[in-house]
Amino acid sequence: MRQIVLDTETTGLSADAGDRIIEIGCVELFTRKLTGNNKHFYLNPERDSHEDALKVHGISNEFLRDKPKFAQIADELLDYLADAEIIIHNAAFDVSFLNKELELIGRPPLRTVVGSVTDTLLMAKEMFPGKRNSLDALCDRLGVDNSSRTLHGALLDAELLADVYINLTRGQEALLIDALPAHTPDNIHTRVDLSAFTLPVLLASEQEVAAHDDVLKQLDKSSGGKTLWRLLATAENPPTPVA
């Protein structure tokens, strides 16, 4: 599966109010591994950034004066994104800006080009309800090193988000992911011989067993003695009849 982690920097907060994209960073993943086939563009937005936006990204108006306009890189960008799953943090923001840029040059919206869009902010809110789910907060929570991020930058943020996404979606398949070839076509399924793996068996401590038993007792009380684990244990190990 080909995935593109994408981030933008802009002159302000509203595409509808005339703000424009000044930077696009894209990082490619194939079968959940970084390929190095990345894209990075600085763009001339044909307007100045708002003061608050400058404090966020630190990209001066003067630096952008001689950079290409969006129309000049549109074909290269769209060819790169074609049919891929696009992964964005707070996708509604970036997609609205990309759609406005495409509209200004007479192109159809992003959804007509890409395979799908995944919003990691929505994923994080479901996984960590009630907690801060900014990119920095997720980096701290998931152990992703963001020490080099002093200002927002599209390519750096896309690289960090790629690590965050892999951690957010890492489940049981993580045990076998390194055994898969780096480039496996989507329509080929790799069979992994599990006999080649020696997995350690970690037994619960006495304290963990006691804590687990306390939870089961609470479940017994609230379910009227119908706790599934208790019923299964009884079915597998029925009491010995008394003569």
Residues recognised as catalytic = 152
Query: 154: closest CA among 24, 41, 241, 31?
Result: 24
Query: 24: closest CA among 37, 35, 40?
Result: 40
Cβ-contact 25, 156 below 8 angstroms: yes
Helix (H), strand (E) counts: the chain:
9, 6
Structure tokens at 62: 């003067």
CA 137 – CA 13 distance, rounded (Å) = 21
Structure tokens at 72: 């000049």
| Phi, psi for residue 30 in degrees, rounded to 5 | -130, 125
Question: Which distant-in-sequence residues (6+ apart) come within 8 Å of 90 by Cβ?
Answer: 119, 121
CA 243 – CA 241 distance, rounded (Å) = 6
Q: Could you say which DSSP state residue 144 is in?
A: -
